[in-house]
Structure 1
């Protein structure tokens, strides 16, 4: 992803890459402990399940959880786009057709079914990654009793799932949402999640959400800003031409590429002089406008 930020140098670069190396080392250690316990039959896995089979199923379930995490990000990114910009591939059209059909209840329905599916996967994942030693067994890798107690808490498995099966997939989906829509697995998992939601086992969440909406007075975003098609018709469509840094990066104001905070002297000037404030507001409107560029000029005494 292209970035407008200055390259990290010196201590900043060393600190960043140092944290990355430490995180990778911790993740590798978590995998080592988990595999050691798994193949020595020192986990809470059901007896009779071969370790090799458990590893294969574990990897597949983590991929399923990762897909569900990424789909959540990708679907919300697509929800604000007009239909014409949601992809041209067969699976993208099929997925969006199912997700956004009717009154749009399938998107929140997917969120409910997704959570059910993730929780179901976690039951098996927890069995595989939870360490459990008998009283007469030696600690894994000969570590002390205190560290072994930490292993037994299941913290290592939770860290593996967080990094490998959750955050990594979310980061990819935030940068490449269309990649997820073009996959047939996305459509299959979406159908599965909607089927789980249709069982009604978690329909109480709809009631609680409706009560929350009533109390807080929530309205859909479209009530305030209109749909993507309505904004485009009013020449106020989304303008992503200035987003050169990629998804997930904050857009920096013009003239402040090096400093994200407006200088205090300029803040005081804007607060004390209405003409200066109007000039800056007009400048920002001209930058974000998708229509013909309006020339902004300052009054010269």
Structure 2
């Protein structure tokens, strides 16, 4: 197991470098000059522009800028925002706790509701319960997140007055509940349908028939034998979905005025703040890689036949 983990950690290095380098090159290729944009419509002073670019290292070749970024990254320095002169690490400290709260609400909703609904549909395959769940999940998949967010905001906020249309305190869990539900609705639908398919397929497996023939209680057959093996593809999806939820929170945060990663990325794109965008994406990449490693290790827990030498 230790050798496997070490090998996976080594494999993460080229993925990390390739992803962050790609973002660097994309930001370098975008038109416009973030330093010149500091003057707005006023005519800039060329000498001041060159001085700022030199102080920030923007006059260096792109690969040299990337190398300096990596060196600073290992020292905890994510760079400095051009417009405000604020360290990017401070922006990360303010934005990520909000998005993590929002993502945890959506992820918990996906697991607590999506998996039981999938098990219920898979155990009642072809019956009215299964058909109702399929229709509801298909509806959630068909409606885009931004449409669902605006509908929830207009109906529950403006029409019924049950909630505040926009979030006033981005750190309050109660105010993040509705944005979290909207964010997790699509993932919930996918997890439900994936669990249903896996349960329906494994119900015909030999080990399930053997457990039933031995006279084991239905709860034990489903919980210990059927569900554990059926969760392997679901866990794979959830590991990928954890990072997708954080990235997808950009739209949800914009609708409900949540001050998280989404707002920071949106403002950074408008100002062409490449350092800020790369810093935010770097943390997301690390979350993706860590989630995939945890998923691979969970395989051995769910299926005893899987062992890592």
Please, what TM-score do these two structures have when normalized by structure 2? 0.26
Please, what TM-score do these two structures have when normalized by structure 1? 0.26
Of Structure 1 and Structure 2, the greater helix share is in 2
- Between Structure 1 and Structure 2, whose CA radius of gyration is higher? 1
